[in-house]
Amino acid sequence: MPATVTRPTKSEATAARIIAAARHLFVARTYADVTTDMIARAADVTKGGLYHHFTSKEQLYVTMMLDDLEDKRVLFAQAVASPGTARERLAGLTRDFLELPREERELTRLVRRDVNTFSGEEREQLVRAYQRALPERVQEIIEDGIRDGELAPGDSRILSWSFVALVEVVIGDYADRIYGTTEARLGHVVDLFFDGAATQPAGGTT
């Protein structure tokens, strides 16, 4: 009867509550340290209720992560599609990231942290979803930048991973204690990546 876009049923609402509780717990503790009981209690259901909606702890975790990474992929794809120089677009992507609520930022690091816990198909799914959400989006911008002569030629895969690594430094707990503003973090990451830390362009390391 309502609008064409279905409103969430009670069942969907419960599942969403469970996922939210799981997300909250998984970012704070290790996968193995979070028990299904903890998740159920935090979501105000019993373990039986939890297993009514999810077939296993692994499946719950993977579902939660895939949902979130798909949201991120969409978010970052917008930054990729926006106009401007590579520098401006990477700054935009980074700003989108930095302006996410803290928990959503931290979620990104879960894959890197927990990926060893899984194996086979689940592991592949998680890795692929992560790559699709972040490094591959960054890589697109970097390849445009190289093509336009804005960035020096180089392996765009490693460059994008490097950029992502810099971003993840600046979203971490440690940086939280140092940076006051999003602008400061943003400027730091983008400036360092584009211009480097040296005062003069020297070169010839080895």
Partner DNA sequence: TCACATACCGACCGACCGGTCGGTATGAGA
Partner DNA sequence: TCTCATACCGACCGGTCGGTCGGTATGTGA
Residue numbers at the binding site for its own copies (CB under 8 A): 28-33, 87, 91, 113-114, 116-117, 142, 149-152, 154-155, 157-159, 161-162, 165-166, 168-170, 174-175, 178-179, 183, 186-188, 190-199, 201-203, 205-206
In this chain, which of 24, 52, 109, 123 binds DNA, going by CB under 7 A?
52
Our measurement of the distance from residue 26's CA atom to the centroid of its chain's CA atoms, rounded to an integer in Å, reads 14
Rounded Cα gap, residues 62 and 22, in angstroms: 11
Q: Minimum distance from CB of 127 to DNA (Å)?
A: 21
Closest to DNA by CB, 46 or 82: 46
The residue whose two tokens read 């039986």 is 48
Residue 146 token pair: 């190289």
The residue whose two tokens read 């690091």 is 109
For residue 186, CA distances in Å to 49, 161, 167 come to 43, 17, 8
Which x/- pattern over 83-122 shows residues binding DNA (rule: CB under 7 A)?
Answer: ----------------------------------------
* Partner touching 132 among its own copies, DNA, none, CB below 5 to 8 Å by kind: none
Buried b (16+ CB within 10 A) or exposed e, 33-71: ebeeeebbebbebeeeebeebbeebeebbbbbbbebbee
Q: What length is written for the chain?
A: 206
Closest to its own copies by CB, 17 or 109: 109
Closest to DNA by CB, 56 or 78: 56
DSSP state for residue 44 in the 8-state scheme: T
34 within 8 A of 45, measured Cβ to Cβ = no
* Partner touching 104 among DNA, its own copies, none, CB below 5 to 8 Å by kind: none
Residues in 58-77 at the binding interface with DNA, rule: CB under 7 A: 58
In this chain, which of 21, 22, 27, 45 binds DNA, going by CB under 7 A?
45
Q: What is the dihedral of CA 50, 55, 59, 64, to 10 degrees?
A: -40
Which x/- pattern over 7-36 shows residues binding DNA (rule: CB under 7 A)?
Answer: --xxx--x-----------------x-xxx
Give the footprint of DNA on this chain (CB under 7 A): 9-11, 14, 32, 34-37, 44-49, 51-53, 55-58
